[in-house]
Amino acid sequence: MLSGCLGSGYWVWQHPEGLSNASLQQAKIECRQLSQQQIDRFDYYYPRYFGPYYDSYYYRGHRNYYWRQPHYDFFRYNRDLDRLYNVCMQAKGWQLTYYENPPPQAD
């Protein structure tokens, strides 16, 4: 029942000038490297305050704080990596376009 709501669309990077697939692959490689270089400058795996989290047990608010914090930082790292990648691709002139139905298969 839920799969009927998902649809069968997909996202594709397209350039307004109609550049080839080889130039798309080159832009993807360059943007992946640039975004990785930028994201490595940030420190995601330490608290955003001056030091580690030294509160007593009763003030932490949740029993598995030490499980949640590294996972939250991992998700934030990946979200920012994707954001920088998309900004780089858009700066190179590529646009992310959504299509409702998959392209017809060539026989």
pLDDT digits over 82-106, tens only? 999 999 999 999 999 988 876 666 5
Helix 65-91 to helix 21-39 angle, to the nearest 10 degrees?
140
In a domain, 8, yes or no: yes
Count the domains in the chain.
1
In a domain, 83, yes or no: yes
In a domain, 19, yes or no: yes
In a domain, 35, yes or no: yes
In a domain, 106, yes or no: no
Looking only at the bridges linking them, the beta strands covering 10-14 and 95-99 are antiparallel
The model's pLDDT over 24-63, given as tens digits with 9 standing for 90+, comes to 999 999 999 999 999 888 766 655 544 444 445 555 555 5
Beta-carbon count within 10 A of 89 CB: 21
- How many angstroms separate the CA atoms of 23 and 40, rounded? 26
Domain hosting 27: range is 3-99
In a domain, 105, yes or no: no
In a domain, 67, yes or no: yes
Q: What is the pTM of this model?
A: 0.67
In a domain, 104, yes or no: no
Q: What is the DSSP string of 61-99?
A: SSTTHHHHHHHHHHHHHHHHHHHHHHHHHHHTT-EEEEE
Which H or E run contains 11? strand 10-14
Q: For residue 69, which of 49, 41, 42 has the smallest C-alpha distance?
A: 49
